[in-house]
Structure formats: C-alpha cells, structure tokens
Amino acid sequence: MQLLEIDVVEVTFAEVVVHFKPIKYKRKLKSVTVASTLLQLVFPNQKNMVQVNYKGKMYSMLLGGSKTVEEVFLD
C-alpha cells in the first residue's frame, strides 16, 4: 500500500479537486486500486471521480453509493 500526500486542493461551487504529489516507484505498475468513502455518509448520492495519470495516459474511476472500491489495470 502506498500512502499519498496532498499537493493542491482546488474548490469551486460545483466540485473539489484534490491533486496528490507524484510518487516514484521503481517497478512498472500493473494496476491501481482506490477505496473512497469521502463524504458518502453525509451525501449518499455523491459521486467521486478518481483520475490516475500514468506515463501520460489517463485512467478514470467513478465511485459512489455502494461502489467504494475500484481497480484499473494499466497498459
């Protein structure tokens, strides 16, 4: 498990965007798994989009409701 450090938080009326500091990893990543329950108890209809930029390619996950964990496989 790799813990991430927050780099920048952008807040607008409609959304909050959290950017994490890049991490260095010696081996090639095969997949990324994200678990998110951020504010789900307060706003049960909320959706949390997670985007991973790996080697110039963007991978997206949409979490919310009963779906709190998702894995993307990297090319």
Domain boundaries, the chain: 6-73
Residue range 13-17: mean pLDDT, rounded? 84
pLDDT tens column, 34-65: 888 777 788 888 888 888 888 899 999 998 88
CA separation, residue 1 to residues 20, 33, 47, 62 (Å): 15, 9, 24, 21
Distant-in-sequence, close-in-space partners of 73: CB < 8 Å, separation ≥ 6: 30, 31
pLDDT tens column, 20-29: 888 887 888 8
Distant-in-sequence, close-in-space partners of 19: CB < 8 Å, separation ≥ 6: 6, 7, 8, 9, 10
Distant-in-sequence, close-in-space partners of 59: CB < 8 Å, separation ≥ 6: 32, 51, 52, 53, 72, 74
Question: What's the predicted TM-score (pTM) here?
Answer: 0.73
In the prediction, which pLDDT does 27 show?
Answer: 85
